[in-house]
Structure 1
Amino acid sequence: MAKLKRWARELLILLLLVASVIFVIDWWRAPQAPPSFNQQLLQTLDGESVSLAQLSQDKPLLVYFWASWCGVCRFTTPSVSKLAANGGNVLTVALRSGNDQQVEQWLARKRLKLPVVNDEQGEIASRWQVGVTPTFVVISRGKLVQSTTGWTSEWGMKLRLWWASL
């Protein structure tokens, strides 16, 4: 019994350390919203002009910065696509992944349907100071409320959107 308690305590300490490291890394790599970002109009691949303020007014918006060349994005992008297909409020930004036609072809090959803003030159990501793909940003009522980088699950995305709606 004493051995089991010791193992449980060691496991708890390890989990707290891992959580602390993840929190510090997310804080360090967190993107910074540019001034007046919520008023800027963005053009999606399907030709729609959208603003982050408008999209995030009624419910929190997940903005997903990804790239076709990103290894981790191969695992997270299908989850984002599934979230969008199931009614999640999602807008994605394809970072330096080619021209509009190349991004559309990549999405078609992967059988993914996403609302995509093509950031061919990386200008949007630069204004947001996004240095890591994938980066997830949650915006609620036109304000950046949280962000994370790296792999996250579909449930992690749903939890972040739910938390932002409280």
Structure 2
Amino acid sequence: MSPKLRKWIIELFLTVFFAGVVITGYNLYLQKDMPTGLAPQIRAQTLNHKAVDLHELSKSAPVLVYFWASWCRVCQWTSPAVSDLSDSENFHVMTIALSSGTDERIAAYLKAKDLKMPVINDDDGIISRNWAISVTPSFFIVRDGEIKSVLTGVTTKPGLLARLYLNR
């Protein structure tokens, strides 16, 4: 390997490493005010008029609680993974749309993006305030009414699956 190529590879590795450290630190900072322990209760109705109760759902299997927004660029990458996970029988998915408009507008967005996930429209912001959401996307794994895991920012379907299976 030529010295120039080796130097380039080392610089690339160091850049990616330090970017990862900065992003991780920033995400941890954003999570500092988010709830831990007992999850704030969510009793609501999805856009499909299905009543959901977070604490009840979390008794039978872990629940992925996903806070997102139609205007969030990162959510455009993460929402398809969450939508894919919403078909599982091993866990539940509850998504909350923040500041994304009317029920009709959110339904149109879901249809345009081919997303098939249960959505609660937090049009008045009460749910997001109860959960101290300061960034989208935000992910919580809730089991037996307790928050087991918190994640903000970019993640992958395998990363979410791993967190869900670790909390079964």
Q: TM-score, normalised to structure 2's length?
A: 0.81
Percent of pairs identical after alignment?
Answer: 37
Determine the structure 1 residue equivalent to 2:110.
107
Find the aligned partners of 2:167 and 2:39 in 1 and give their Cα distance: 18
User: In the comparison of the two structures, how many residue pairs are matched?
Assistant: 163
Amino acid of the structure 2 residue aligned with 1:113: K
Describe the shift of the 1:127–1:96 C-alpha distance in structure 2 as closer, same or farther (beyond 3 A). Answer: same
Cα-Cα RMSD: 2.8
Q: Secondary structure at the match of 2:59?
A: coil
**Pairwise mapping of residues 1-166 of structure 1 onto structure 2 (< 5 A)?**
21-30=22-31, 32-33=34-35, 37=39, 39-87=41-89, 88-165=91-168
Describe the shift of the 1:95–1:142 C-alpha distance in structure 2 as closer, same or farther (beyond 3 A). Answer: same
Find the aligned partners of 2:15 and 2:36 in 1 and give their Cα distance: 36
Shift of 1:52: 0.9
Describe the shift of the 1:39–1:45 C-alpha distance in structure 2 as closer, same or farther (beyond 3 A). Answer: same
Q: Which runs of 5+ in 2 are unaligned?
A: 4-9
Shift of 1:40: 4.1
Q: Structure 1 stretch 95-104 or stretch 48-57: which is displaced more?
A: 48-57
Find the aligned partners of 2:103 and 2:37 in 1 and give their Cα distance: 26
Shift of 1:106: 0.7
Describe the shift of the 1:13–1:75 C-alpha distance in structure 2 as closer, same or farther (beyond 3 A). Answer: closer
Shift of 1:13: 8.2
Amino acid of the structure 2 residue aligned with 1:77: S
Describe the shift of the 1:35–1:152 C-alpha distance in structure 2 as closer, same or farther (beyond 3 A). Answer: closer
Find the aligned partners of 1:118 and 1:34 in 2 and give their Cα distance: 23
Amino acid of the structure 2 residue aligned with 1:129: A
Q: Deviations over 1:41-100 (max 9, x none)?
A: 111111122111111112111001000001111111011111113445211000010011
Q: Deviations over 1:7-41 (max 9, x none)?
A: xx999988876665454333321253399755441
Q: Secondary structure at the match of 1:117?
A: strand
Find the aligned partners of 1:160 and 1:15 in 2 and give their Cα distance: 24
Q: TM-score, normalised to structure 1's length?
A: 0.82
Determine the structure 2 residue equivalent to 1:6.
none
